[in-house]
Amino acid sequence: LISTQRRNHSLIMDSIKSSLLIVGLLLSHGITMSSGLSTISRRRYLQWQTGGCIATATTTALSNPSAAQAANLKSRTEGYAVQHTEREWAYILSGAQYNILRKGGTERQKSSILNTYTTENVGSYVCAGCNTPLFTSADKFSSGTGWPSFSTALQGVEEEELDPIRATLDGKEVRCATCGGHLGDLFNDGWIYRGTSAAKTGKRYCIDGAALIFKPEDGGEDVFGDLPPPNRVIKYEQSMYRGA
């Protein structure tokens, strides 16, 4: 029985890896979401692209498949060092920043100027809500997904607590550990991105640019991630909220 279970688990993981590889190849060739899907959850998109393999693996591996898709219901206020009322947050933050950090929204692909930044833009990425350092330019890589991506994070990033299977199938939320602001999602598919730092860590932090501010190491002006890329106007649509 144990041997059979191990074989089944191996088949499940092989299917998952194959499906994720397909997604990585599509993204690396510039194939992205259509405008009709631009505001859906990154987690849903990953599942749709991997299709039947993910669905089969989820059904087999989890007794309650819907649990893997549940939003993180932890409060974005209680227990965090920096706290404000929702009215205060709405005053402090821009509309895009508030939607991401406080409502858990997801920005359009390629809508942030920080998606165009590379390791050559030396500096750090801090939380747009409280200035907590979150990522460094040395860990940024081009994932082709349309969202700023990093291979590792600083201590200022809080990861949602999930069991390994759910984390692999569905990804997990990452927040600012200081103010509780939603940043994006962490996926265990870094191995897909060969030749990048993510291939070494096995992780891909898929972050909404609007949640970040880039601070150049040379002391230059801060770059706010809710700005669009040069020569591009972004028409924002109502986002899909992920919960409290």
Q: How far separated are the first and last CA of the chain, in Å rounded?
A: 42
The SS3 call for residue 144 is coil
Q: Which two tokens stand for residue 107?
A: 């920005």
Q: Residue 126 pairs with which residues in a beta bridge?
A: 133, 213
Annotated active-site residue in 127, 130, 179, 206: 206
| Residue 149 region by backbone torsions, left for phi larger than 0, else alpha for psi between -120 and 50, else beta | beta
Q: Judge whether 206 counts as a catalytic residue.
A: yes
Per DSSP, 226 falls in state T
Contact between 160 and 124 (Cβ < 8 Å): no
DSSP for 95-123 reads HHHHHHHTT---PPTT-SGGGG--TTS-E
Interaxial angle between packed helices 42-61 and 2-28, expressed in degrees from 0 to 180 and rounded to the nearest 10: 160
CA 142 to chain centre: 14
Q: Residues with catalytic annotation? A: 206
